Amino acid sequence: MTEARPIILTCGEPAGVGPELAPKALASGVPFVFLGDPRHLPEGTPWAEVAAPGESVPEGLLAVLRHDFPAPAVPGRPDPANAPAVVEVIARAVDLALSGAAGGICTLPINKEALKRGAGFGFPGHTEYLAHLAGDVPVVMMLASTTVEPPCRVVPVTIHIPLSEVPLALTPLRLEQAIRITDAAMRRDFGLARPRLAIAGLNPHAGENGVMGDEEARWMAPLIERLRREGFDLRGPLPADTMFHPAARARYDAALCAYHDQALIPIKTLDFAGGVNVTLGLPFVRTSPDHGTAFDIAGQGIADAQSVIAALRMAHEMAGRR
């Protein structure tokens, strides 16, 4: 483990819960800097401006790397005028991480609709934009628990697409790429010498020998066997409905799932508040809380900081391994 540099906490959508979560995140106990407009923070927030991520501030103050926005933040009402600045903050954080000035980034939630309308944002979300900024590198999304044992870590191989498109999108190439990226990241970022990966089948009961679909027998099992011969520790294809009880989770370190809900339903059921979104495959550390902008409660001071605290701590731990 190396001494980790501060994490950049990006402001996200200022009309959401991000600004009120930033000062609460001081409870994480890890060094971080808030990148955003301090005028969007809750009234009375103790903060101090810094010129660089590593600059120290008195204990109890939120370190702020200032990025001025053109408009105020009205809780629950995203302003299109602020959308370009939200995108600029993400890009600035990536530059700081790539330069070595920061140990990584932790991103507070954005609103894709607001960014598309206000800034012409052409990406499905944070993950795809970060991959683009890193040079269009292949990445996968992992959701990792922090409060349950054995841990629940899931990787959806296909993400934000209609369920009807999953069988065509789930290709041997995509699954193999996800396996390789996950294996490498579990070694580098989670400190596992030999990661154990479980692969969920696409169909109910993993096809049940072709009775309920043939993808598992036709190409998933042969692919998994080929990668086993290369030295990967793989299990599957497995029936997804029996993969997530405690005894099953004890047999693997991460599960690769065929589609979004197959992966996210179990972790959000098991660790809704403590789940962390991690982007694997980037040349820098990136985590985020596993929730959205929560416009319905923004500005009320009641947003739960557990997930952002967990995300900062995980980013700090990962940065210490790089």
Q: pLDDT tens digits, residue range 71-81?
A: 999 999 999 99
Is 203 one of the annotated binding-site residues?
no
Is 127 one of the annotated binding-site residues?
yes
CB 92 within 8 A of CB 68: no
Fold of 140-280: Isopropylmalate Dehydrogenase (3.40.718)
Residue 233 confidence class, pLDDT cut points 50, 70, 90: very high
Do the domains 140-280 and 1-137+282-322 match in fold? yes
Is 40 one of the annotated binding-site residues?
no
Tell me the per-residue pLDDT of 291-304, one tens digit each, with 9 for 90 and over. 888 899 999 999 99
CA–CA distance, 236 with 225 (Å, rounded to integer): 9
Q: Average pLDDT in the 129-149 region?
A: 95
Q: Average pLDDT in the 3-13 region?
A: 91
Domains of the chain by residue range: 1-137+282-322, 140-280
Tell me the per-residue pLDDT of 156-214, one tens digit each, with 9 for 90 and over. 999 888 999 999 999 999 999 999 999 999 999 999 999 999 999 999 999 888 889 99
* pTM (2 d.p.): 0.92
Is 160 one of the annotated binding-site residues?
yes
CA–CA distance, 143 with 273 (Å, rounded to integer): 12
Q: Determine the pLDDT at residue 1.
A: 52
| 261, amino acid identity | D
Residue 235 pairs in a beta bridge with 198
Tell me the per-residue pLDDT of 157-172, one tens digit each, with 9 for 90 and over. 998 889 999 999 999 9
Mean pLDDT of the chain: 94
Q: In CATH, which superfamily holds the domain spanning 1-137+282-322? A: Isopropylmalate Dehydrogenase (3.40.718.10)
Q: Determine the pLDDT at residue 136.
A: 94
